[in-house]
């Protein structure tokens, strides 16, 4: 099979690495891909992931058998519909189904319609009404930009003053552009967050696994929300009993609900969960694609061949497909540019990549890099690298990941030093 991956980040690099191992994969292509992905995939940097016309032309020219859509923006814009209408097999949901991520208000109202457990919420289209609401609440809450904001449009607020500042940035200053025209204000849930994944062909489901992401920029879960500063799997708080509840109370109702509403979900459903102290799972958010950096740890733990699973989902043939097996543990530490998730500089020369990967259980996935004129890798984004390691235990994987991080350097590099701390202590 010829597989085309759309995207250029660490998630897509991890998918390319895993799919390239498949005995069914004759070629792995990526659009636009990146210099860092070139080991695993033939990259087409002139083809943007969201350019449906260019992607379709590339897929036809290269006789692609399966398109795997990595990022959320093209899905929300309807690229899966366009490619399917042209006769291609696509792993990724339709525009209608992608509303689960593309609109926080749609997702919350969908959960309300289908009795899926989530935080209490209210939706606002004006800054004045939202400010009045958080003043009336008078306590902790969460403020979310309604649209896509690359994982950064969420503010966890300790009280009305924090919430009003967040609303001012999102709705007043439009820090996230049109994504902030509407906001969702939620009850602030307390517990441990878990990212859970399941693949669906619109009707059948194959469960995957859970991971724990670290969204805040600084150690101890302080600082602003980012796209993710690291992850580990398995998430030790996520017991088999809790997983059973998540499938029965959340995943199956969500897939059935989308089907009943005329938008069957075909792809991977990412459920961002809060596991409360009593073990009750509630939905923080839905995403409609693999997470980043959770994909990096899941791909290192996944036993066997990923390609037939994605292909079966794309073609509506998941019924009877067995769930994959998972091995050991994995930890990913994001190395980011100084200043991320706000303003940051790029073009910083990266040293130590080869040294970091001398450990056969370490892989460095490229999230935001490019080669300069001298052939050196330099930083080209906020999150630059995902240093990912596997081990028999979370503690072993964590040790390897941080040992590899110590080999890598670039100017103003920042990282969290406590990724997977909960998994080690549990």
Q: How far apart are CA 265 and CA 94, in angstroms?
A: 7
CB 36 within 8 A of CB 365: yes
- 369/406 same-domain check: yes
| Chain segment 349-401, per-residue pLDDT in tens | 999 999 999 999 999 999 999 999 999 999 999 999 999 999 999 999 999 99
Compute the mean pLDDT over every residue in the chain, rounded to the nearest whole number: 96
Domain membership of residue 320 (yes or no) is no
Are residues 206 and 304 part of one domain? yes
173 and 88 assigned to the same domain = no
3-state secondary structure of 190: coil
Asked whether residue 113 is domain-assigned, the answer is no
Rounded Cα distance, 304 and 300, in Å: 11
Averaged pLDDT for residues 77-88: 98
pLDDT at 409: 98
- pLDDT tens for 248-278 read 999 999 999 999 999 999 999 999 999 999 9
Domain range for residue 368?
A: 329-425
| Angle in degrees, 0-180, between the axes of helices 104-113 and 252-260, rounded to the nearest 10 | 100
pLDDT of amino acid 190 = 94
pLDDT at 153: 86
pLDDT for 40: 96
Q: CA distances (Å), 52 to each of 66, 75, 78, 84, in order?
A: 15, 10, 9, 11
307, 194: one domain: yes
Query: Which burial class, exposed, middle or buried, applies to 169 when counting CB atoms under 10 A from its CB (0-12, 13-18, 19+)?
Result: middle
**pLDDT recorded at residue 111:** 98
283-319: pLDDT as tens digits = 999 999 999 999 999 999 999 999 999 999 999 999 9
Number of domains in the chain: 4
Terminal alpha carbon distance of the chain: 42
Whether 422 contacts 212, CB under 8 Å: yes
Residue at which a domain ends, from 279, 314, 349: 314
Q: Distance between CA atoms of 9 and 33, rounded to whole angstroms? A: 8
Q: Mapping DSSP to helix (H, G, I), strand (E, B) and coil, where does residue 145 land? A: strand
Domain endpoint, select from 314, 346, 371: 314
Specify the 3-state DSSP secondary structure of 178: helix
Look at residue 5 in the predicted model and tell me its pLDDT: 98
CATH number for the domain that contains residue 170: 3.30.1490.20
Q: Are residues 133 and 240 in the same domain?
A: no
pLDDT digits (tens, 9 = 90+) for 131-144: 999 999 999 999 99
176 with 197, same domain? no
Do 414 and 346 sit in the same domain of this protein?
A: yes
pLDDT of residue 8: 98
The reply to whether 257 and 344 lie within a common domain is no
Q: Is residue 119 part of a domain?
A: no
CATH at 83 = 3.40.50.20
For residue 273, being part of any structural domain is answered with yes
Reported as a single tens digit per residue, the pLDDT across 137-184 is 999 999 999 999 877 788 999 999 999 999 999 999 999 999 999 999
Beta strand 266-275 with 192-201 is antiparallel
| CA distance to 15, 57, 185, 207, per residue, from 172 (Å) | 38, 41, 15, 41
Edge-to-edge strands, sheet with 329-336? 281-287, 266-275, 192-201, 205-213, 230-233, 329-336, 383-391, 362-366
Residue 74 lies in a domain: yes
- Cα dihedral 288→296→292→395 (10° resolution): 120
156 and 198 share a domain? no
pLDDT in the model for residue 149: 84
Residues 18-58: tens digit of each pLDDT: 999 999 999 999 999 999 999 999 999 999 999 999 999 99
CATH number at residue 298: 3.30.470.20
What does the pLDDT read at residue 172?
93
197 and 310 together in one domain: yes
Within 10 Å of residue 199's Cβ, how many Cβ atoms?
A: 26
Residue 134 contacts by C-beta under 8 Å, 6 or more apart in sequence?
A: 141, 143, 157, 160, 163, 164, 167, 185
291 and 194, same structural domain?
yes
Asked if residue 121 is part of any domain, the answer here is no
Reading the block at residue 284, the tokens are 């923080």
pLDDT at 152: 76
* Within a domain: 259: yes
Q: Do 402 and 304 have their domain in common? A: no
Share of the chain above pLDDT 90, in %: 95
Tell me the per-residue pLDDT of 185-238, one tens digit each, with 9 for 90 and over: 999 999 999 999 999 999 999 999 999 999 999 999 999 889 899 999 999 899
Q: What percent of the chain has pLDDT over 70?
A: 99
134 domain residue, yes or no: yes
Task: Give the residue from 116, 146, 181 where a domain finishes.
Answer: 181
Q: What is the CATH number of the domain that holds 390?
A: 3.90.600.10
């Amino acid at each position: 099979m010829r597989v085309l991956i759309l995207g250029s980040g660490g998630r897509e690099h991890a998918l390319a690495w895993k799919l390239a191992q498949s005995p069914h994969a004759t070629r792995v292509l990526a659009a636009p891909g990146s210099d860092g992905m070139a080991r695993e995939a033939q990259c087409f940097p002139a083809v943007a992931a969201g350019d449906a016309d260019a992607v379709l032309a590339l897929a036809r020219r290269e006789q692609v058998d399966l398109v795997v859509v990595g990022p959320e923006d093209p899905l929300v814009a309807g690229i899966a519909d366009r490619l399917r209408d042209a006769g291609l097999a696509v792993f990724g949901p339709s525009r209608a189904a992608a509303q689960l991520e593309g609109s926080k208000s749609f997702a919350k109202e969908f959960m309300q319609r289908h009795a899926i457990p989530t935080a209490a919420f209210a939706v606002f289209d004006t800054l004045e009404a939202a400010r009045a609401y958080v003043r009336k609440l008078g306590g902790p809450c969460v403020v979310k930009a309604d649209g896509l904001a690359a994982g950064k449009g969420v503010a966890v607020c300790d009280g009305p003053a924090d919430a009003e500042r967040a609303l001012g940035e999102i709705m007043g200053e439009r820090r996230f552009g049109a994504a902030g025209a509407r906001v969702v204000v939620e009850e602030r849930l307390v517990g441990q967050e878990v990212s859970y994944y399941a693949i669906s062909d619109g009707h059948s489901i194959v469960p995957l696994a859970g991971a724990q992401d670290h969204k805040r920029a600084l150690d101890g879960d302080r600082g602003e929300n980012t796209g993710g500063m690291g992850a580990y799997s398995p998430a030790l708080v996520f017991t088999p009993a809790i997983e059973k509840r998540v499938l029965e109370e959340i995943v199956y109702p969500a897939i059935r609900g989308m089907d009943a509403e005329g938008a069957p979900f075909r792809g991977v459903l990412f459920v961002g969960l809060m596991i409360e102290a009593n073990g009750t799972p509630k939905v923080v958010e839905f995403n409609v694609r693999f997470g980043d950096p959770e994909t990096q740890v899941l791909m290192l733990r996944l036993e066997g061949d990923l390609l037939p699973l994605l292909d079966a989902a794309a073609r509506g043939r998941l019924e009877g497909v067995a769930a994959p097996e998972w091995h050991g543990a994995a930890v990913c530490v994001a190395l980011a540019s100084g200043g991320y998730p706000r303003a940051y500089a790029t073009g910083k020369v990266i040293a130590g990549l080869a040294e970091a990967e001398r450990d056969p259980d370490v892989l460095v996935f490229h999230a935001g890099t490019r080669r300069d004129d001298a052939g050196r890798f330099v930083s080209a984004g906020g999150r630059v690298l995902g240093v990912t390691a596997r081990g028999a235990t979370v503690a072993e994987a964590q040790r390897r990941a941080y040992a590899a991080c110590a080999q890598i350097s670039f100017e103003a590099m920042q990282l969290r030093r406590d990724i997977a701390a909960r998994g080690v202590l549990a």
